[in-house]
Amino acid sequence: MNEHTRFMEMAYQEALRARDEGEVPVGAVIVRDRQVIGRGYNRIEALSDATAHAEIIAISAASSTAASWRLEGCSLYVTLEPCLMCLGAIMQARLEAVIFGATDPRYGAVVSHIYRNEIEEAYHRFPSVTPDVLADDCSRLLKHFFSDLRKKN
């Protein structure tokens, strides 16, 4: 198993925790020097907070571990392509790389919608992006969640 797959597996485990709590199953981990320094999963409903995405929670946790808001040299692994808010948080926290699982054609802000030119103009940088790591597993988890939700309603 290569390194990307190994850390995405950990993000996937976080996504399972979200699912088990009835949240849209998205999970994230932040890695520095091959060590996980922060984890998070979607907790929008539990916290009644639209900002409680897996990525934001993982960034807060990693910053706490690092005792710094600057996460240079860190990589974010997340099971779903980040939205605009999370991409903005990635820029603010100066994360170096984003590795994601499933693509989000509607809200995805990293490859699905093209905010990149404006971002590079503002910040003079953009993280490296690796899509499609364990994409089938990450995507299937989301599809089953929404399919089960529809059955309940």
Catalytic positions, please? Answer: 55
Assign 144 to helix, strand or coil: helix
DSSP structural state of residue 83: -
CB of 151 to its own copies, least distance (A): 24
Give, as ranges, the residues between 34 and 53 that touch its own copies (CB under 8 A). 44-45, 47-53
**Strand locations in the chain (E):** 27-32, 35-41, 75-80, 97-102, 128-130
Rounded Cα distance, 18 and 79, in Å: 12
Q: Please give the torsion angle defined by the CA atoms of residues 86, 91, 94 and 98, in that order, rounded to the nearest 10 degrees.
A: 60
CB of 14 to its own copies, least distance (A): 17
Select the span of 18-26, 72-80, 113-121, 136-144 touching its own copies (CB under 8 A).
Answer: 113-121
Figure out which of the listed residues 13, 16, 36, 60 binds its own copies, where binding follows CB under 8 A: 60
Name the site residues for its own copies (rule: CB under 8 A): 44-45, 47-53, 56, 59-60, 63-64, 66-71, 83-89, 91-94, 106-107, 109, 113-115, 118-119, 121-123
